[in-house]
Each structure stands twice: as C-alpha cells, then as structure tokens.
Amino acid sequence: MYNGIIIRLSEMGLKSRRKRPFFERMAINAIQDAFSRNGIGDYKLKNIGQMFFLKTDNVQDMIPVLKKVPGIQHFSPCISFPFVSYDATVAQTVKLAKPLIENKTFRVTAKRSGVSGFTSMDLAAKCGEDLMDFSAGVSLRNSDINVVIEVRGPDCFFYTDSVSGLGGMPPKSAGTSLCLFSGGLDSPVAAYLMLKRGVVLDYVFVNLLGETALEQVAPVYNFLVSEYQYSYRPTFCEVDGRELVDFINKNVEPTLRQLALKIAFYKISEILIEENKVWGVVTGEALSQKSSQTIQSLAFIQGQSSAFVLRPLLSMDKSDIIAIAQQIGTFASSQNVQEMCSLSDGPVTAVPVKKDIERIPNIDAVIKKAVENVKRTKGLLPQFSNLSSDSPTVEGEIIVDLRIPSATKQDPIKFDYNFPYPDILTKLNLFEENKTYVLVCPHGVIGQEVAYLLSKRKINARSVSVKEFLKHKN
C-alpha cells in the first residue's frame, strides 16, 4: 500500500537557514549508512523543505531501522501521488481514506505549500465533507483516524500515522568524544544518550579482569555501535588495568582506593583524548550513586585531570537508567558483565578533602605504561562465542530470527519464525511454556533481552549471534 516515508528531523526549526543544510547532510549520511548496514537498497531520498521524502517499496523493513537513527523526530509511512488539481487531490484523498474510516470517527488535517488557488482549510473541509457519509462522524479531539494530506508543489502525501524516532541531533553534528566503557548498565546508556545528541564516540575499556571481561563487553559494544552509531567507524581502546589495580592495592590505603582508581581512569582518558583528537570523555557517573560519585568526590577527582568530562546520567535515578537500558536493548546483556566495582571491602571516603590527595601516591608512571600498550581496534570487536554447548540447537528447539527480512538475506539461516525486533515484543504471547526457543540476532544482545522477558513468563529461551549460529551449523 505505502510507497514512501515522510521523515521529519528534530530541532530543525531552531536552526538558522545558513546552518540547516549542514544538519540535513548529516541526517542523510546517517540514514544511508543505516540502510546499507541492514542490506536495504532501491530507494530515493529527497529534501522537500524541512523534511525528507523517502521513496521506496520496502517500507516495513525501513521502519525499525529509522527508529534507531539519531536526529529523526518522527516519520510517517505514506502514499505519494502527483498534484494535478484541487479536485483530483480531494478525490484521491477520499478514495484512500474511505476504507480506513468505515465505522470510525475521523478528522482531516491538510497542509499546503507551493500551490495556490485554495487554502489548507478549504482542502480539509472538502475532504471531510466527502468522507462524512462513510464514517461514524467527525471528532476533532479524539478521532480514531487522523487523515493527513500534504500538498507540496508537484507532490501530494497521504498518511494516517506518525512513528516516533529517537529525536536528538544527526550523527557527527556535535563532534567526537571518548567514552569510558565497561559494558555494565550505566556506560552503554551514557553512550547512547550522547549518540542521540549527535556526538560520535570512540571507546576506552580499562580491563581490570583480563580476557574474560573483554568477552563480556564485546557483544554489548558491538551491538551499541551497530544499532545506534552511524556515519563514523569508532576506535575501541583496550587498556590493561591489572598492574594499575595491583599498584593501588599495594600503595593506597583502602578508604581512598576507589578515588585513586577513578583518578587513574580520568588521566588515562586525558591522554587518549589527545591521541584520538577528540573533545572530551563521556562517563556513566550518576550523582551519589556510589561513594566516588558524590558531588565532593566528583570535584576531587576532576581536580586531578584536565579532561573535559560529559556526564549525561548525572541527575538520573538508577530506575531511569534501567528503563533506558531496557528500551535500547542492553539491559539483560549488561547484567552479565562482571565489573570491579570496589577495591575495598570496608568503609570508603565519600567526602574527600584537599589533603587526601597527598595520601594518594603518584600513579602517572603506571598509567603511562598502560596507555603505551593500549590495544586499538577499528570498528567492531571479534565476536566471542556465546553458545552454551557445541551445537546451537538440539532436536525440538524452535529457531526465531530477530532480524528484519532484508538483513536475513545477507546471512541466511533456516528459521521457524522471523519476528524482527522490536515487533517481537508484541508477540510474546505466541511463545509456549512447553517449548524451547533459540533467538538469533546479529550480536546475541537483543536475543538476551527477549530471552530475559520470556524467562519472566517461565518460557525457556536462549540467545545466539548469527555468526556463531552459522559457524556451528557449518
């Protein structure tokens, strides 16, 4: 039915005419990158004045992709047809709307630009008059169906629904920063919120636990940058922090160890900010969430580094952070990430004073050595196995592919059901308690999120990445 999508960018009305083309170019680049990653082609993207028209016959595959592109406020699957005359536009609008408003209340919203001889009110009134007999009546405030007809020069656009996007600003429009990334609940949400505001990110992971920690972090990182970071190929910097922890444990009294560790993180970031030529560092700190995140502790730590620090979670409750993690799909996987939260078993200093810095020995030499040996990976990290056995399936298990149809063609697998995420969230009632499901998705992260939701319904399901599924099948 649909032959295109109208896309509206966020905050474009706040930009001057001189700067607006810059943000529009950034948005176009991001949309094209998102489609390319998902194997979507055969479309045309046209600027029609403060919004875009995406001409395509593949609307259903594009909807879940557009929902994840920063800078898009909302979009509407639509039917486009040429403007011939006022009467022809009314006739076509009535023809398209009639089957939709039967036994339902409706209203008509009309918009017009680039043509003359009638007003938007004229068009809305005439369409409403001709549709009245086919409906349950007009309701301007609480209608069942909002019939929208937009006339923009030579083109008309008919639609009834609007889908919310991420909002924010287009990728790369706000510069580049570094993100202190642990893969736990907080740092992916902090990264997401900065990506949403148009900042593209490189990532630094201070590995305090060794290879096992990287295996846990990699899927969360790969998922985040694949699903929400566009127009930029990030650098993942792994810093071995085990000698740093050993030094702090041996040379810093227990009450100050956590502060010393955070100072080290800031100083590592300070060096990498310079080397990566970015603006600052993003952290997942939330005020008073931990002893090292009191306002006194943050001021104390910040005073030991010149790094420009961005804290998007600063005023959030933990419940707010969890809600966003669930929304973006990282919650279940982040819960599996083992973090070294504390270097002390006893009381810690939550309100440090100036003289406390004299009780922390200089750790610059240890930091310098760690950063000199940083491991840099451009783009995605190697996919570690997330299978619990040598075979991704056993007899009787049901395979559910969570990718959109166009993506399933890139790496085909034999599945029983194709329920793309997030549409699958509306189909959880179809899963049965006496059956076992294998959820297949690009990095195993979204599958874990769905498996977590199914487990609350006492349904047995597990997640596997596409790569691992194909590897074991072959």
pLDDT at 49: 79
pLDDT at 387: 45
104 and 234, same structural domain?
A: no
pLDDT at 44: 95
State the amino acid at position 120 in one-letter form: S
247 and 180, same structural domain?
A: yes
Domain end: 135, 164, 193, which one?
164
pLDDT of 215-263, one tens digit each?
999 999 999 999 999 999 999 999 999 999 999 999 999 999 999 999 9
Q: How far apart are CA 319 and CA 325, in angstroms?
A: 10
Q: How far apart are CA 121 and CA 139, in angstroms?
A: 16
Contacts of residue 130, defined as CB under 8 A and 6 or more positions apart, other chains included, come to 90, 94
Buried b (16+ CB within 10 A) or exposed e, 193-224: bbbbbbbbbbbbbbbbeeeebbbbbbbbbbbb
State the amino acid at position 13 in one-letter form: G
415 and 361, same structural domain?
A: no
Q: How far apart are CA 361 and CA 291, in angstroms?
A: 20
pLDDT at 209: 87
Residue 465 falls inside a structural domain? yes
Residue 389 falls inside a structural domain? no
15 and 112, same structural domain?
A: yes
156 and 180, same structural domain?
A: no
Buried b (16+ CB within 10 A) or exposed e, 231-256: bbebbbbbbbbeebbebbeeebeebb
CATH number at residue 450: 3.40.250.10
How confident is the prediction along the chain (474 residues), in pLDDT tens digits per residue? Answer: 899 999 999 988 888 989 999 999 999 999 999 999 999 999 999 998 789 999 999 999 999 999 999 999 999 999 999 999 999 999 999 999 999 999 999 999 999 998 989 999 999 999 999 999 999 999 999 999 999 999 999 999 999 999 999 999 999 999 999 999 999 999 999 999 999 999 999 999 999 988 888 999 999 999 999 999 999 999 999 999 999 999 999 999 999 999 999 999 999 999 999 999 999 999 999 999 998 999 999 999 999 999 999 999 999 999 999 999 999 999 999 998 887 666 877 788 999 998 999 999 999 999 999 999 999 999 999 876 554 444 556 678 999 999 999 999 889 999 999 999 888 999 999 999 999 999 999 999 999 999 999 999 999 999 999 988 888 776
Q: Where are the alpha helices (DSSP H) in 317-411?
A: 318-328, 331-335, 364-372, 405-408
99 and 8, same structural domain?
A: yes
Residue 132 falls inside a structural domain? yes
Residue 345 falls inside a structural domain? yes
155 and 116, same structural domain?
A: yes
Q: Note whether 181 and 187 are within 8 A (CB).
A: yes
Residue 388 falls inside a structural domain? no
Q: How far apart are CA 199 and CA 213, in angstroms?
A: 26
pTM of the model: 0.92
Element (H, E) at 186: helix 186-196
291 and 364, same structural domain?
A: yes
Compute how many other C-beta atoms are within 10 angstroms of the C-beta atom of residue 419.
Answer: 20
Element (H, E) at 468: helix 466-473
What own/partner pairs with CB < 8 Å and gap ≥ 24 does 392-399 have? Answer: 392/438, 392/464, 392/468, 392/469, 392/472, 392/473, 393/438, 396/435, 396/436, 397/436, 397/437, 397/438, 398/435, 398/436, 398/437, 398/438, 399/437, 399/438, 399/440
Comparing CA positions, the residue from 237, 183, 214 lying closest to residue 370 is: 237
CATH number at residue 270: 3.40.50.620
358 and 226, same structural domain?
A: yes
Residue 439 falls inside a structural domain? yes
Residue 97 falls inside a structural domain? yes
Strands (E), 342-382: 375-378
Owning domain of residue 138: 4-164
Domain end: 130, 164, 198, which one?
164
Domain end: 164, 190, 207, which one?
164
Length of the chain: 474
Q: How far apart are CA 139 and CA 262, in angstroms?
A: 58
184 and 292, same structural domain?
A: yes
Residue 153 falls inside a structural domain? yes
CATH number at residue 83: 3.30.2130.30
Looking at the structure of the chain, the number of domains it has is 3
316 and 246, same structural domain?
A: yes
403 and 345, same structural domain?
A: no
